[in-house]
A and B are shown apart, each in its own frame.
Chain A
Amino acid sequence: DIQMTQSPSALSASVGDRVTITCRASRNIASWVAWHQQKPGKAPRVLIYKASVLESGVPSRFTGSGSGTEFTLTISSLQPDDFATYYCQQYNSYPWTFGQGTKVDIK
């Protein structure tokens, strides 16, 4: 199985900050990575797929990058609506696996 190691597990940031979350795959998964955002009590929402493709309706302050084993989600200027938990997910092969999550809260 492919392990997805996500860091940090939590971070505190202010509105307007640039935020970067990293995910490392245990083996080469090309660009088969998605990033999901989840707010308390809600189902997740996909933000990015195929490592860098922005899902329709997602603000352009979210960008994804990387390929192979190293992937990054960047929020260029954190907004109040962005305080949530973020998960990377590989869909290169079954079983699909998620990172442990990064909780972004208000500093």
Chain B
Amino acid sequence: QVQLVESGGGVVQPGGSLRLSCAASGFTFNSYTLHWLRQAPGKGLEWVAFISFDGSDNYYADSVKGRFTISRDNSKNTLFLQMDSLRAEDTAVYYCSRYLIRGVPLDYWGQGTLVTVSS
């Protein structure tokens, strides 16, 4: 069955860095675009970043552009999010999800990993 498992969350000071991972299984990883989304405590959903099936294209929300980098390793079925220059407003549960072009968007999500930016 399809599984997406995030890891790498934790507590980090403002200005610090963190690298999230999302391990995927149960589907043809290199056929899907992949996405990071987040949800601040008590708030709504926010889309964060996208990467194409082969890693050649990406896109970011304005709120993270220039600070976050999305990447993928198709040989290891793993998605990454490098987060630098973290701010208090980046505190959220981070989810990974997938999309097959012209198919069902965000049909599977991971369980999420909590990132807390605090001094």
A-to-B contact residues, CB < 8 Å? 1, 34, 36, 38, 43-46, 49, 55, 87, 89, 91, 94-101
Contact = CB atoms under 8 A, between A and B. Distances in A.
6 contacts: A34-B104, A46-B106, A87-B45, A89-B105, A91-B99, A96-B50
Contacts, number: 52
A101 B45 CA distance: 8
Interface residue SS majority, chain B:
strand
Contacts of B46: 98
Contact of A36 (B50, B60, B106, B112): B106
B104 A98 contact: no
A91 B47 CA distance: 10
Contact of B106 (A44, A95, A97): A44
A73 to B, nearest CB: 15
Interface string B42-78: 0011110010000000011110000000000000000
Given A43-B109, A46-B107, 19 more contacts: A1-B62, A34-B104, A34-B106, A36-B45, A43-B95, A43-B110, A43-B111, A44-B106, A45-B109, A46-B105, A55-B107, A89-B106, A91-B105, A94-B59, A95-B61, A96-B35, A96-B47, A96-B50, A98-B45
A48 to B, nearest CB: 10
